[in-house]
Structure 1
């Protein structure tokens, strides 16, 4: 794309189409590769399902079986646009705050799970990802372990340890030959699967600070660009602890050399964290941001530019972003307006109203039209 920023905004400015109303907070949402379902990971231990093929996207019966918060989801992807997902791949891999890793059908909520590991980690699993070839899973969590599993049967194949602190994010290399994990200190480690050796580290320590007896930030999200030449690491450049302040930041590393190429800031100090990333096929980055209560952003930006060509602060505290396989719509998990924590007033009936996560569904214009 050689367009200027104004032209890009004209071509790709989204419009909000609907909000899916929920009664609980969600950590993440993902469209399935077939495009027929939207799945959301809930604080209530459910994987919520929505009919993404219908205009109103009604909620379907949820997937059950988790004990704690469902933290993250991983789904098989089409190998190319012409290849449909095999029926055997109509599965979702989900992890929770009790250490469970689970594989089950996202089509039939009544079907027995394909497999379950209730003790995949000792405590909270913070991320799960599927390898590009769909054969391997990787997980990481607060027990400072990174584990690689067979996607087919859930058997453990590899285990790596991060002795200093918990691991926050995990991703496979584009060639399936290694796994990477980002930790709270801002280090991103790469292990070769064949040898089990730690081969290199990426320095993202600018995304960490120890302040006011807090460890702030960390390498919270990892993503490769579509051609696999750049590794993106997202989080915040922290200013202080307490009421955490920091610049929402994406670090861009050259995959071959491991060198930092660029540091991209997507907001001001009160915006704090970049929470999720996705690449649009047209080549630009889509990002969500969550900071102080009520502070949330959706940002579209090319890596090579010095500014975003689209952003909106309409949605408070955005936590997740997922692009539909048609590239004609996307969904953002956000937070209800007026959210707060300690000190919130009770409702008239004496209850303590919790926060909830509306899922905002946006449409994208057809750039060819």
Structure 2
């Protein structure tokens, strides 16, 4: 399929390819351009991405319930009389999750809310502006920090992310004739389109495959998310005491690299349609892959994590009392507030995309549940 000629990012991609001695980019570098190019990357552009008018839904876009469940989990670590544990959210998107979290803490424990400091780490100027607008009522409790500000995040904290790691750029590999091959991106001048090329694995990718003990069948393709493992280890190492809560698409290595996943887990989203062609709309589509939680658990331990639990999102929600929020109602109006509330809860619990495919990794360091 030919790429659309008017895509602003395409000229940059072709220039990057032309600048390489072998005229190829790793899939990781290609995906990084597609998602995070400062002007034309998907996440960096000023356009709606989440919700009905965007390309995909998140748990925050289905109502306030996920934010409240995270708040309830947070409050279980809050010991009476202690200074409230600061919160650090990475990749908060529109700010809706932060709003729901802060609304819930304010309602459930006003004393903790009064002393709460909520940090947001956001790379996109567009999303940061949206967060500031969404969180205006909680402005006394919110601040922005992280790599864009040169650090400054608290070392004693409750750190969480929702659908962050699945959007990190990945390398792609394939088993061919008993040897590892890495997948690269090239330009086919005859067909005038981006194409896939096989080549040798970069040393960091090969080291990951060996360390994680990954084995594939002949012809099987998989993703390698080096950045996710590094991010978890970095957060765990930085924490002197605290919690790291990671919510994302993903599974254990045994499941992710099993024989029924011959084509890996990479997916693209545009206009609420999912497909597996990463070259179709570069810079105009979301791109994700499932997170290897086995690698994340190992990385956390390397960073000093002492305890961890891995649950499905459904288990996490039920454990934190979501079923208690189901409203009893006898109204015949299917569009009434109680009916809408119950539908949102059922969607979180029963939808394949929001219940079993999502996992929740809770890692702790120097803290135990109150």
Q: Which has the higher contact order (CA 8 A, sep 6+)?
A: 2
Same fold (TM over 0.5): no
TM-score range, shorter chain: under 0.3
TM-score by length of 1: 0.28
TM-score by length of 2: 0.28
| Structure number, greater radius of gyration | 2
